A and B are shown apart, each in its own frame.
Chain A
Amino acid sequence: MLLTALTISQLIGELKERQILAQQQAQLHKQLYMLSNQMAEALTPMAIFIISRQFIQQQCKLEAAFYAPADALANQEISLGDFIDNQERIHIQQLLNHETNNHSYYHGYYYLLLQGKTRLRGVMRISVDNTLNTYHSLLETIASMVAIGVERLHYMTISEQQTWQIKSEQLRNSILSAVAHDIRTPLTIIYGLAEQVQHELANSQHQQTISQICQHSWRLNQMVSGLLELSKLQSGNIQLKKEWIPIEELIGSALYELKPLLNQAEIQLPSSLDALIYGDELLLQRVISNLLDNAIKYYDGKGLIKIKLDTPAHLVRLSIANTAPPLSVEQQQQMFVPFQRLQQTVNPNGMGLGLAICQQIIAAHQGKIYCHCQHDDDSQQDYVVMSIELATPPQPQVKS
């Protein structure tokens, strides 16, 4: 009897304990649910950190702090709590870089990683206490919720930024092409009228003024055309008319276009120009004449302008080199940015759109364009070399 009574009371006691535990668990789940709701409403990573810190204080009576490095979120370092010395920073950095695996404890703190779906987003720091073990799994859950929440905000920011960027780019392009188009008609007229006056007043004292009007309106026309062309290329809906073209013909057309400039420099052609290139004739000719035009513009007056052609398997590489002082790596990359011109330009015509146009055209052909500097040991001269590389599919057969 007694044994039975004892067993039953023990069982009841156990049952009650379990019931309390279950109630606590249910309560905790409810709290976690509310936490996740609050997090979903948060608008900034900081808000998520604050909500989580409060939750940990209330539920676990533990002190939490958060840290997200600049490279983990859209270039902004965020921290909540006091991360005092540099050493702790270094320790956190090591944790984030996975340089230390088993050093989650450090100077009385315990660190949990905020592991997002794609990458680490930061750390959560808990001050060590003897209740820590009890709440360990809860803290892990919170850490992963914080990571997901922060990551969600991060992606929202990025996609918003991108949408704006695309919208403003589109707007810019449509304004540009509308303006350029409307400017062209009056420019055609100004040029035409100035030219007529020039013919009619051939012996006038204003001859020089008139010829300047002619020159400048022509140049303005070229610039507007360049802008229009670049905005058309950047809008991305350019359709390539790809054909097999003899390189010799492309270079020949470029030389023909630049005829008035060719007495300024000696141009050395490769012994054979027999290769074919696969692409849009108009656009590729544009690239070659822009590159040659630049070579003549930046050429230092000594030596040659060299055109080189390499045709390794499935590739055509065309290089145009002019003697010029070496450029820094930064300068070599900068020159593809629209409106950038090298400072030592003697002849500051144009707007520096040429290489930006070339880059867009080559990108549309899935090719490469790059600049590098070379020292020629034989002639002791420095060259700036612009190269383009285009892939060549199998060549067509031509029956004779």
Chain B
Amino acid sequence: MIQSSSDWHILVVEDHQDIRQLLVHALKKAEFKVSTAANLAQANDFFSQEKTYPNLIILDLGLPDGDGSDWIAQLRVWCQVPIIVLSARFAEHDKIKALDAGADDYLSKPFSTDELLARVRAQARRLSQLPPQQAMISFGQFRFDRHKLQLWQGEQLVHLTNIEYQLLAVLTAHAGQVLTHRQLLLAVWGANFSEESHYLRIYISHLRKKIEINPTRPMYLLTEVGVGYRFMLSG
């Protein structure tokens, strides 16, 4: 298990030299070990040897030698390394494609160093907390038993419908991560509903009424506009 950031090896895949340097500088400053690749071909080399294998990948979506989303999908077949994609603002289609292919998070250019490090650390935290798995997860005043499907607000049992339980379970299992509409629909409703986004939106709004103090200004169940949702345990 990885103990501190200096044990972390991050691979930055970005074709633009200055942006690459910017990323490297910020990450090194935060004491991560950083390697770089200017395209997908160079990135592939890092997977050939055990010692160069990265713990996290930051991948630009506008690389010259191939589609980043296809590359992610291919990698995801056998490898669960966290991937954060970089994309231009308003390129929501590219973002969604990459997230559906298996990317864990995204950053829109221009980004601040704080934003970058927060995203990287969130992935690091998620991975280091992975084993052992606990059924009970807590956020704010709530405790959620994912195995028994019970949600407690303090000592009070909150009534959720079956779908609301499923939804909350999937969201909390990927806390901190972005889940696209499609991913959530597939996980909760199944393949026949993957385009019925209004189901998801309506159930999300029901769920918010039960777990948020002010459903219009949610603290836990955040909207990623045009992309999907993100559950924040820390509120």
Contact = CB atoms under 8 A, between A and B. Distances in A.
Contacts of B225: 253, 257, 281-282, 285
Interface in A162-212: 184-185, 187-189, 191-193, 195-196, 199
B202 A398 contact: yes
Contact of B199 (A241, A251, A252, A398): A398
A252 B110 contact: no
Nearest to A248: B216
A196 B216 contact: no
A14 interface: no
Contact of B109 (A188, A199, A249, A276): A188
A243 B110 contact: no
B22 A229 contact: no
Interface residues of A, number: 39
Q: Interface size class for chain B? A: 20 to 34
Contacts of A249: 201, 204-205, 223
A225 B226 contact: no
A248 B29 contact: no
B90 interface: yes
Interface in B135-178: 161, 163
A162 B13 CA distance: 47
B121 interface: no
Contacts of B112: 191, 195
Contacts of A221: 110
Contact of B198 (A195, A256, A396): A396
Contacts of A131: none
Contacts of B226: 241, 281-282, 285
A255 B110 contact: no
A188 B110 CA distance: 5
A74 interface: no
Contacts of A80: none
Interface in A230-286: 232, 241, 243-246, 248-249, 251-253, 255-257, 269, 273, 276, 281-282, 285
Contacts, number: 89
A156 to B, nearest CB: 41
A298 interface: no
Interface in B59-109: 88-90, 92, 109
Contacts of A192: 19, 22, 26, 110-111, 113
Contacts of B223: 249, 252-253, 256
A227 to B, nearest CB: 12
A400 interface: yes
- Which secondary structure dominates chain A's binding surface? helix
A225 B89 CA distance: 8
A296 interface: no
A282 B198 contact: no
A246 B215 CA distance: 12
A185 B62 CA distance: 12
A243 B161 CA distance: 24
A218 interface: yes
B218 interface: yes
A229 B198 CA distance: 26
Given A192-B113, A225-B90, A246 B18 contact: no
A184 B109 CA distance: 9
Contact of A252 (B89, B109, B163, B216): B216
B43 to A, nearest CB: 20
A64 interface: no
A243 B202 contact: no
Contacts of B29: 196, 199
B89 A196 contact: no
B19 A185 contact: yes
A257 B89 CA distance: 14
A218 B110 contact: yes
Contacts of B51: none
A143 interface: no
A184 B218 contact: no
A248 B205 contact: yes
A193 B18 CA distance: 9
B216 A245 contact: no
Contacts of B16: 185
A220 B119 CA distance: 24
Contacts of A243: 197-198, 201
26 contacts: A185-B19, A189-B19, A189-B22, A191-B110, A191-B112, A193-B22, A196-B29, A196-B113, A229-B90, A243-B198, A244-B197, A244-B198, A244-B201, A245-B201, A246-B201, A246-B202, A248-B205, A248-B215, A249-B204, A249-B205, A252-B223, A281-B225, A281-B226, A285-B225, A285-B226, A396-B198
Interface of A: 184-185, 187-189, 191-193, 195-196, 199, 218, 221, 225, 228-229, 232, 241, 243-246, 248-249, 251-253, 255-257, 269, 273, 276, 281-282, 285, 396, 398, 400
